[in-house]
Structure 1
Amino acid sequence: MSGLDPRSLVDPAIWSGPLFHVDSEQGDDGRSGLGGFDGDFSEAVRTIYRAFELGNATGAAYRVAIKPGLYQESSFTKNGQREPSHPVAILGWGGAVRYRTGPHSVTWADQGGTFTTSLSAVRRVFRSDETTEAGIARELTQVEDEGVCAATPNSWCDVSGTIHVNIGAVPGPSDIILLRSFHGARFLSHSHDLYLEDIHCEGGITGTLHCDATATRNIVGVRSSFRYAAPSNPNAPYDAVRIRRTKGLCAFFDCDASGGAKDGWSFHEDGNAGMEVLLENCRGTGNGAGTATSCNGFTTHDGVVAALLGGVFGYSSNGTELHCIQNTKTWCLGTTAIARDSDGTSVAFKCSNAAQMWLEKTQADASGAGTALAIEANGGTVLTRGHQSRAGGTATSNGGSISTF
C-alpha cells in the first residue's frame, strides 16, 4: 500500500556489514559465525545472543542470519543480558524463526484427571491446538490446585514446579505452550537502528518485543509476530509490542502483536518527542488478560504521529481496539476494528484528550452485552471519510467531536 522498501528505512551500513549465522540445531557458540558466503551456515553459532556478541565486537553495523527453526528460553538475548550495541538486522534466513520463552516440546505424564510436567517459573499457558475467535491460541485458566484443575476443563495450575493441565484429552508434545519467566525480544540498551524480518516471538516478562532506550533511530519489522507477553507479576501486565522513547520511525509491515497481557501495539514518547509510527497490514487481536485494564489492540500516547494502512484489530478485553490519547495524531486507511469486550463496554475506535484521528475507508464492528461504540471521542477529534460502522453507535464527551472531512 505504501510502496516503501522496508530495508531502505534503516541505516544502509547494515546491509554491507558482516553476516553472522545462527543454527539452533547444528550451530556451536565456539565458532566464528561467519560463512564463506551469505547463507553459509557451516560456521554457525547456536544462540542468537552469541551472534550479537560477535557482531558487537566488530564495532560497526552488522546482520544476523538465523536458520529457520525453533529457539527457546534464553537463546535470544540470554534473558536480557546480551543486546546489540550497533545498527543491526535480525533475519529469518529463508523462512520463519520461532522463538519462545519456554519449551517447544513437552512430555506429559497422566495423573488421572490432569497431565503433568516438571517446569519452573511458568507464567502463562496456552493451547496451540485450539484457536479463539481472535485467531490466537486459547489460553488456559490458572486455578489454585490440581483438584480444581482436574474438575475444570481448559485449566492449569503450578504445584511447586509441577505443571498440571486439563484439556479434556491427552496433550501432544507440542499442544501446550508453556511460557516461562524469561525476557523475550528485549532491547533496553540498544539505541541504534533495528530491523527484524521473519522473526516470530512468544512470551516475555516485560513485553514480547520491548524497545525502551532513549534514542534517535528507526525500528522496522517485516513478516514478524510478537505474541503472549507473560509478566512475572500478573498485577503488572505488559504489552505484546512495547516501544518507548524512540525519536524516529517505527514501521511494521505484515506483523502481528496479539495476546499481550495488556496492549497489543503500544507506543509512547515519554519525553523524547518525535516518534512516528507506520503499520501496514498488521494485526493486534485478543489482547488483555486477567485483571489488566485499559487494554488496546493499538494505542499511541504523548505526541506520537501514526498511520495505519489496512490491518485488523479486535477482541481485546477491558479496553478499546484503537485508542489514541493525549496529543497524538493518527490516520487509519482501510483499517478494521472488531470490539467484543466482555466487561460491558465494547469500543472500536476511540480518541481521547486533545488527540486527533482520521478514519478513511475504515470499518468498525462493535457489539457486546453492554455499551457498544463504533466511534468514541472523549475530548478528541475524530474525522471520517468513507467510514462504515457495521455495528455500534457513537458517543462524544468532554468536548470531543465526530464529523466528516
Structure 2
Amino acid sequence: MHHSGSIGGVSRSALAALGVPMGLASVPVSAPQGWRDHWQVAAWQPQVSLTHHGAGVTATLDRAPAEIFDLFSTARSVPANTYHVSPNGNDANAGTDAAPFRSIWKAVSAANASGQPAKIVVKAGDYGKPYNPSQFLNLRPTVDIAFVATGGRVVVGTWDDFGSPAKDGTYTNCYSYSLGNVDRVIDRARLDADGFHPDLLHVSDAATCNRIGGSWTLEAGKIYIHRADGKAVTDANTRVLRAAGGTWRFDAPVSIYVGAEDSISGFDTMGGSGGAGLHYQPGTKPAAMKAVVVERSTFAYCGGTTYQSNGTLIANLHGLALFSDCDASNNVKDGFSAGNDGNFGAQCHMVTVNSRAILCGRGSAQSCNSLTAHDDAVIADFAGEFGRTNGGSVRTIGNSRCWLSGTNIADDRGDRVSGGMTPPAAIMAGDNAQIWADRAVVSMPPATAAVFADTQAAVRLRAMPPMRSNPQGNGTVEEW
C-alpha cells in the first residue's frame, strides 16, 4: 500500500507540527499574535525551533545567547578593559592574566572606576562571601560587564570558609563557632536524586541540635552543627550560607552577561540576598534598552531561615533578560521571576530556554512559582522543566503576557500546606494575565488544576497532550 510518505494518511510534517517525535527533525514555532503585539525589544525577537526526541524537547534559538548579548553591549565582544580573577590571585595585583585578582568584586570595582564596558574572566574555583561579585551586597556594577567563566565551574555564594571548628564543650555532638547570622546549612558530602546537596535541619536550640543528627541552630551568637554521619564539621563537607547579604546584585541600568567561552564552564550560585541569587532591579529607565544574558549557570539554595529568596529576580529591566541552559531550582521562593513595579515605564521581557526550576517553595513561603511574571512583563519559555513547586508552577498575574512552547510542567504542590490558598496547579493566569501554551506537557494528579484562569484572565492551548483534569477558574481557557 502506498501512502506517499505519510503515516496512516497524515503527513510526517503535519505530525511533527503537532509535536509528534519524527526522528530528530526540528520544527519552527511561531509566536501567538497576542503575545507578539506586546513584545517591544527591537534588537531581537525570539526565533525558535523545537526538536522532539526520546528524552523530551530541546529548543534552539536563531542566535547564540552570547551573540544576542552583543546586540546590546560591547562588554563581551569588544571590551574597553579585561580583568582576570583566580582562586590563586591577590587583590593587590593588577588584575591581568599573569597577575589576577582574588576577588570578583575587585574586578567589578576596577571596571566601575574605568567607566567603560568591561570583561571579567574568572577561573574555575570557589568564591564565597569575601570574594563574590557583589562583595556581599556592598558593591554594584555601574558599567556594562561580561562575567566569563573559564576552566570549569565557578562557584559563587554567601558562605564564609570557617576552617575546622572544635567540638562544643557543652553539646559534645555538635561543632560550634561564633557567627552572627545564618540562612541555610547544607551537606556537601551528599547529593539527592535531583543533584542537590541536602539541607541540614534547622532546630530551635543547641540542646535539640545535640540530640538530632543532621541538624543545626544559631543560639546566642554561636552556630551549632551536628552532622548525621557524626564526622567533624569542615569546609569540605559542610557549607554555611549566610543571611543579610547576596551574590549577584544590580541596581543600575546596565547590560550584564554571565556565562563562558568554553563548553565546560559556567557559574554556580549558592545562596542569595533577600531578593534572589541573581537580583537585577534598577531604579531608573535607561535611554536605550539593556540586556541581562545568562547561560550555563545555576542559582540554588537561595533563602532559608531569614529570607524568602528567589533563584533569579528581574524587576524594572527596560529590555531583555535571557536565561539559556540555566537552573533556578531549590530556592525558598520563586525560580525565574520577572516584573515591572518601578512606575517609570520599564518594559521588562524575559525568555528562558532549555532551563529548569523545580523544588521552589520551602518552609512557610507561599505562592512560590517555578516561572512567574508580574505587572506588565512579557515572558516566554522554550523547552523548560518546571514543577514540584508550592503555589502554581507557571503563574502570571497583572497584565503580563506569557508564551510557553515545548514546556514540561509536573506535580505542582500548591501552598495550602504552608497556610496559603493556592491549590496544586500547573499553569495559572491571574488578574488580566494571558498565557499561550503550545505543545506543552502538563502532568498533574487527577482532581488538581492542570490549567487555571481567573475571571479576567485567559489561557490558550495548542497541540497539547490530554490532561487528567478539566480547567478550573472562571476565566477563559480555549484553543488557539
- TM-score, with structure 1 as normaliser: 0.89
C-alpha change, 1:128 and 1:384, in structure 2 (3 Å) is farther
Residue equivalent to 2:249: 187
Aligned pairs (5 A) from 1:1-400: 1-10=60-69, 11-14=72-75, 15-17=77-79, 18-25=81-88, 27-34=89-96, 41-76=97-132, 77-103=134-160, 106-107=163-164, 109-110=166-167, 114-120=173-179, 121-132=181-192, 134-171=194-231, 173=234, 174-197=236-259, 198-206=266-274, 207-213=276-282, 214-215=284-285, 216-230=289-303, 233-234=306-307, 237-270=308-341, 271=343, 272-317=345-390, 319-341=391-413, 343=416, 345-367=423-445, 372-379=448-455, 380-388=457-465, 392-397=468-473, 399-400=474-475
Is there any run of 5+ residues in structure 1 with no aligned partner, and where? 35-40
What is the distance in 2 between the residues matched to 1:258 and 1:191?
Answer: 26
- Is 1:70–1:104's contact at 8 Å kept on the other side of the alignment? no
Question: How far 1:353 moved relative to its partner?
Answer: 1.4
C-alpha change, 1:389 and 1:265, in structure 2 (3 Å) is farther
Which region of structure 1 is more displaced relative to structure 2, 119-128 or 329-338?
A: 119-128
What is the distance in 2 between the residues matched to 1:140 and 1:335?
Answer: 32
Question: How far 1:102 moved relative to its partner?
Answer: 0.7
C-alpha change, 1:104 and 1:385, in structure 2 (3 Å) is farther
Output one character per residue of 1:34-67: Cα deviation in whole Å (capped at 9) or x when no partner: 3xxxxxx211111111111212222211100001
Q: Which amino acid aligns with 2:441?
A: Q
Q: Higher strand share goes to which structure? A: 1
Question: How far 1:275 moved relative to its partner?
Answer: 1.2
What is the distance in 2 between the residues matched to 1:129 and 1:187?
Answer: 29
- Is 1:254–1:282's contact at 8 Å kept on the other side of the alignment? yes
C-alpha change, 1:135 and 1:373, in structure 2 (3 Å) is farther
Question: How far 1:186 moved relative to its partner?
Answer: 3.5
Question: How far 1:153 moved relative to its partner?
Answer: 4.3
Q: Which amino acid aligns with 1:259?
A: N
- TM-score, with structure 2 as normaliser: 0.76
What is the distance in 2 between the residues matched to 1:222 and 1:33?
Answer: 24
What is the distance in 2 between the residues matched to 1:389 and 1:70?
Answer: 46
What is the distance in 2 between the residues matched to 1:231 and 1:156?
Answer: 13
Output one character per residue of 1:207-257: Cα deviation in whole Å (capped at 9) or x when no partner: 1111110344111001011112236734xx221111110111100100111
C-alpha change, 1:400 and 1:136, in structure 2 (3 Å) is farther
C-alpha change, 1:394 and 1:103, in structure 2 (3 Å) is farther
Question: How far 1:165 moved relative to its partner?
Answer: 3.0
What is the distance in 2 between the residues matched to 1:52 and 1:253?
Answer: 23
% identical equivalent positions: 24
Q: Secondary structure at the match of 2:137?
A: coil
Q: Greater Rg, structure 1 or structure 2?
A: 2
Question: How far 1:104 moved relative to its partner?
Answer: 5.7
Q: Secondary structure at the match of 1:92?
A: strand
C-alpha change, 1:367 and 1:136, in structure 2 (3 Å) is farther
Which region of structure 1 is more displaced relative to structure 2, 93-102 or 166-175?
A: 166-175
Q: Secondary structure at the match of 2:119?
A: strand
Q: Secondary structure at the match of 2:198?
A: strand
What is the distance in 1 between the residues matched to 2:159 and 2:253?
Answer: 27
- Is 1:136–1:286's contact at 8 Å kept on the other side of the alignment? no
Q: Which amino acid aligns with 2:93?
A: R
- Is 1:73–1:182's contact at 8 Å kept on the other side of the alignment? no
Question: How far 1:293 moved relative to its partner?
Answer: 0.8
Output one character per residue of 1:145-186: Cα deviation in whole Å (capped at 9) or x when no partner: 122223334322112343333442134633322101253233
Count of paired positions? 391
